[in-house]
Structure 1
Amino acid sequence: MTVKMFDLARDHKEIKDKILQITEKVLTDGEFILGKEVRTFEDAFARYIGVKHAIGVGSGTDAIKVAGLAYGLKKGDKIVTTPNTYIATTMSLSLHGIIPVLCDIEAKTYNMDAGRLDDILKKEKGIRLCIPVHLYGHPCHMDEIVEICRSHGVGVLEDACQAHGSLYKGKKVGAFGDVSAFSFYPTKNLGCYGDAGILLTDSDSIYENALMLRNHGQSARHVHTIEGYNTRLDELQAAILSYKLEQLDGWNAKRQVIAGWYRNGLAGVPVILPEVEPWAYHVYHLFVIRAKERDALMKYLADKGITTLIHYPTPIHLQEAYRTLGYKRGSFPEAETAAEEIISLPMYPSLTEEEIRYVCDTIRTFYT
């Protein structure tokens, strides 16, 4: 048997006819840039998350960039985030002269450790924005993080690029910070057929700034108030995302079922399964286990036709691009240890119980 890490072709089959209808309609309407489909999706996604404003952009990376700049970050300002996130969390802003400061994670959820964050904000001057990452689809401790940041006069930008529909104490992530960012990369829980992203905010000023930043700095047609970018969500992707948004909760529920199959199938196997806080609704963008024999296990699974990945093998502070930050191996022990042990197992809504049983049985056989 072959089990892929992701299978977009199989997921697409279930909705192919509807996607073709949507595509035909957009092509027939003849509107492709910042038209009614974009506005419709922005409004729908803002309602879904529970915020006032949404601004569609060209990618999740651009969503973080535009969100930070619209908040008011300038060259020389500092942000604080975690070292085990995808590098776009920092690189989207460091390219603009904004300096990343890193905070270690808690081992249980792989998310920002609020206690360590408080210590950093007490010692490090110049941090203007905190970027907690809802990694793998599990929400961060948002009450503690927001309270700590407010006490230090620091804003909050939620990186929710892996957490569409995730809940913290019954409220959707993306609605806690000053601004938040989501990605619609094809393999996300809510993904399109290319790159796309969105930022959300209740702030009128952040919203107005973001509208200008995404479209050449325009405040009105051919009126360029600031310098900006060309990063716009297009009509076709927006129309597809509007339809997919209606399916998102159902797809997330399927991911929950698949996670349950994994938990049952791996019971008693000497690996560490994902832990879920009692206040959290984990949407399992990824199902990540930990194994001391990680590399050998991955090779064994590959030999048996099972694709796995590592999210992410090298923490940000150990990447060549961020050598100048001055961190070294040992600076963030929790993130570094996790990076040496984590494995992402196949996870997507159309996986079958038979496939999950095969993955679990193969892992169990490895340890026999």
Structure 2
Amino acid sequence: MIPVSRPLAQYSAHRKEIRAAVLRVLESGRYILGDEVHQFEGEFAGFSGCKHCIGVANGTEALMLALMGCGVGSGDEVITVSHTAVGTVAAIELAGGVPVFVDIDPQTRCMDARLIEDKISSRTKAVLPVHIYGQPAPMEQICDVARRYKLLVIEDCAQACGAEIRGGRVGTFGEAAAVSFYPTKNMGAIGDGGAVLTSNPEIARRVQWLREYGWEERHVSKIPGINSRLDELQAAILRVKLPFLGHDNARRRMIAQKYTEVIQGTAILPPAEVPETLHAMHLYVVECADRISLREFLQTRGIATAVHYPFAVHQQAAYKERIRGSESLPETEALYDRILTLPLYPELSRGDVQRICSALKTWCEQH
């Protein structure tokens, strides 16, 4: 069976270097916030185009700390989307904020910037766009609305390491951004991890305090904080992988293009090619009215699929009927009956790519 993602393949591709990095950490005797984390933070900031990177325990806490670092707190409304992983909304509430939903643009599947203004209230503090699946959200339009209403912009880049808008990396458009290093991500750890990106030194300093009990100096808390630290082992592993991220993303896009060439103009709708953006292709998500048939057919051909996600956030029991904006998300709700994720990772062999393309072509010819 060809899986949707395969983190083991990335480890295998860099086995020697990863083992050496792990051994280096083990023999250093320093396992928390040491040189590996420090070096990785500098390297990843450079890659991302931001001045500061703060390594933390996971992507959800990265987003929570980014919000807190920007000053979002109790009762502050944060405008975001329901078409996202639950972690986006969980992070807003963990920071003390109140999520408010706007609908998506069906082409990008990201936040529709035209709808933000209607949801702004006297309590609105920030806008949180999600670069879903690796497709950049329309940051110029979003930031324009935010500037007019003096709102903060915090980007959810969990799925979009390396994605670009007009040559500028996502994560550089707002006050701060959050990244996830979950193992299946384009930039995946062997375990959990995350980071906050910002070019604002005050936000960076506050997030550094917040990730470790609010310490300004060791054992002295300046502000209330939490324990959310990227560990040395994961930082060392991520340092091995970072130089290959650009190449791996390009390989993802090449495979995605092969899929698109097969299904273009058929009953399967490929991801849109949005002008002036560079998709990170974390996930290749198609739309199909006969999703069940397509999924069952691919299963018989030894090809796994997934649904990202089975339900929008506002449709889930924990959030249903309690978040403002949930009643007006027609594009989001229409999408959830149609989406299907195909296998996509840079280590997919040429033979597996051909096998997937052949299966897609056969199904399309029958429908």
| TM-score (structure 2 length as normaliser) | 0.96
Task: State the match for 1:74 in structure 2.
Answer: 73
Matches of 1:273 and 1:323, distance apart in 2 = 30
Query: Paired residue for 1:106?
Result: 105
Moved more, 200-209 or 226-235: 200-209
1:149 correspondence with 2:146: yes
Q: Which residue of 2 aligns with 1:91?
A: 90
Structure 1 portions without partners, runs of 5+: none
Deviation at 1:365, TM superposition (A): 2.6
Q: 2:210 aligns with which of 210, 213, 219?
A: 213
How far apart are 1:326 and its partner, in Å?
5.0
Per the alignment, in what secondary structure is the counterpart of residue 153 of structure 1? coil
Deviation, 1:13, is 1.4
Contact kept in structure 2, 1:317 and 1:327, CA below 8 Å = no
Shift, 1:96, TM fit? 4.3
Deviation at 1:264, TM superposition (A): 2.0
Hey, what's the Cα distance between the residues in 2 that align with 1:21 and 1:292? 48
- 1:37-59 CA-to-partner distances (Å, cap 9, x unmatched) read 10100011111111111110000
Cα offset, 1:352, TM superposition: 2.2
The amino acid that maps onto 2:337 is E
The answer on 1:4 being equivalent to 2:3 is yes
Q: Which residue of 2 aligns with 1:360?
A: 357
Report what 1:230 is aligned to: 227
1:324 Cα deviation after fit: 4.6
Instruction: Mark the CA change 1:311 to 1:300 in structure 2 (over 3 Å): closer, same or farther.
Output: same
CA-to-partner distance for each residue in 1:155-189, whole Å, 9 max, x for gaps? 00000010101010111000110000000000111
Contact 2:165 2:276 in 1 (8 A): yes
Q: Which residue of 1 aligns with 2:245?
A: 248
Q: Deviations over 1:206-241 (max 9, x none)?
A: 111111110011110111111111100011111111
Q: Is the 8 A contact 1:266 1:364 kept in 2?
A: yes
Does the CA contact (< 8 Å) of 1:189 and 1:285 recur in 2? Answer: yes
Higher alpha-carbon deviation: 72-81 or 92-101:
92-101
The structure-2 alpha-carbon separation of the partners of 1:10 and 1:314, relative to structure 1 and needing over 3 Å to count, comes to same
Question: SS of the residue aligned with 1:323?
Answer: coil
What corresponds to 1:128 in structure 2?
Answer: 125
Aligned-residue offset at 1:330: 5.7
> What TM-score results when the alignment is normalised by the length of structure 1?
0.96
Aligned position for 2:339: 342
Q: Which letter does structure 2 place at the counterpart of 1:41? A: F
The answer on whether the counterparts of 1:63 and 1:199 sit within 8 Å (CA) in structure 2 is yes
Contact 2:99 2:324 in 1 (8 A): no
Are the aligned partners of 2:132 and 2:160 in contact in 1 as well (CA < 8 Å)? yes
Report what 2:274 is aligned to. 277
Shift of 1:327: 5.8
1:51: which partner in 2?
50
Contact residue 81 and residue 102 of structure 2 kept, 8 A = yes
Residue 179 of structure 2: aligned partner: 182
What is the alpha-carbon distance in structure 1 between the residues aligned to residue 42 and residue 95 of structure 2?
30
Partners of 1:84 and 1:335 within 8 A in 2: yes
Q: Aligned pairs, how many?
A: 365
Q: Find the counterpart in structure 2 of residue 309 from structure 1.
A: 306
Partner of 1:290, secondary structure, is: strand
Q: Give the partner amino acid of 1:53.
A: H
